[in-house]
Amino acid sequence: MNIMKKLVFLSMALFLVGVGTATAQVRQRSLGIELGSHNAAVYDLTLGRHFSVTAKAGLVLEAGFSGKKDVNGKRFSFGGFTPFASLEPRWHFSGESASDLFHTGGYLGVRLNGAWDRATIFGPSYPKGYDRPLYTLGFSPRFGWVFGVNENSYIGLSAGLEFFRTKMSYNEGGSPWRTPRTEGVIPVSLEMTYGIRF
- Provide the CATH number for the domain around residue 113: 2.40.160
Say what the pLDDT of residue 16 is.
44
β pairing state of 29-36 and 38-46: antiparallel
pTM summary value? 0.78
The total domain count for the chain is 1
The segments of the chain whose pLDDT lies below 50 read 1, 7-8, 10, 14-24
Say what the pLDDT of residue 166 is.
92
Say what the pLDDT of residue 184 is.
79
Condensed to tens digits (0 to 9), the pLDDT of residues 161-176 reads: 999 999 988 766 666 8
Range of the domain at 85: 2-197
Condensed to tens digits (0 to 9), the pLDDT of residues 46-62 reads: 988 899 999 999 999 98
Say what the pLDDT of residue 65 is.
72
* Nearest-angstrom CA–CA distance, 56 and 61: 14
- Judged by DSSP in three states, 9 sits in helix
Q: Which residues pair with 111 in a beta bridge?
A: 140
Say what the pLDDT of residue 36 is.
96
Say what the pLDDT of residue 181 is.
84
Please state, for a pLDDT cut of 90, what percent of the chain lies above it: 52
Residue 187 contacts residue 162 (beta carbons within 8 Å): yes
* Nearest-angstrom CA–CA distance, 90 and 140: 12
